[in-house]
Every structure is written in C-alpha cells, then in structure tokens.
Structure 1
Amino acid sequence: MIYVDANILYNYIFETELTEYSLKVLSLNEPKITSDTVVNEAIFAFEKASKGKLRDYISPKTKTHP
C-alpha cells in the first residue's frame, strides 16, 4: 500500500521537477491511501500557489442585487 502525501498531489497537479516522480508513484499498480490531513494540506498549498484564486473557484461570492 502506498501512502499518498500532499507533496505527491501537489507535484502531480502543478508541473515541477518532481512531477514525473509523482506520475510514477500514482501509476503503480498498488492500493493507495491518504488522509483528511493530507487533503487539507494539499488544498492549502493549492490556494497559496494559485494566489487565492482557488477559493474564488470553489466558493464564488454571490452577488446580491438591489
């Protein structure tokens, strides 16, 4: 079983020098597992990398009309 941490997810989604390694890990024919903490860390990292745009995409502000 392979434990997938936030670094693997980050390097899979964003092209870095470790993207190829992440692809290999995720392509292995073995069960994979992660945790809620890893998902939270990944979301935080994605938010920082996207400079706040992720929050707008996930939870767009609703516009109120007068």
Structure 2
Amino acid sequence: MSVKSKSSKPIIHIVLIIGAISMLTPFIWMLLTSLKTLTEATKIPPVIFPKILQWSNYTEVMRL
C-alpha cells in the first residue's frame, strides 16, 4: 500500500460516517414524530422523544 492510500482511508471513513448520519437523522425524526400525539408533534420548540408512544397512530389507519 502506498502512503497516499493509508492516509486517505480515515478521511473516507469520516466522510462516509457523516453521510450515513445525515441520511439516518430524518428517518429517525420521522419515526419518532409518527409516535407522538398531535400536540407533541406540533409543539415549538419541538419535543424530540414522545412522552408516551402512540401506537394507535398506526392502528387507526388500518381501520379505514
């Protein structure tokens, strides 16, 4: 291995990790928001974690 490839591997890994985090963050936010009540979902400043998980948000759709 050349010196160039050894020194570029950490940089590539850092870029890939930052990219992965930037792709996962909106997905996690969407999942957490889907488990909130309407009040928690529209509150300003936003509540990150719901106090009580609202699984009924998913079961109501199935009844339609």
TM-score range, shorter chain: under 0.3
Rg (Cα) greater in structure? 2
TM-score of the superposed pair, with normalisation by structure 1: 0.25
Query: Which structure is higher in RCO with an 8 Å CA cutoff and minimum separation 6?
Result: 1
TM-score computed with the length of structure 2 as normaliser: 0.25
More helix by share: 2
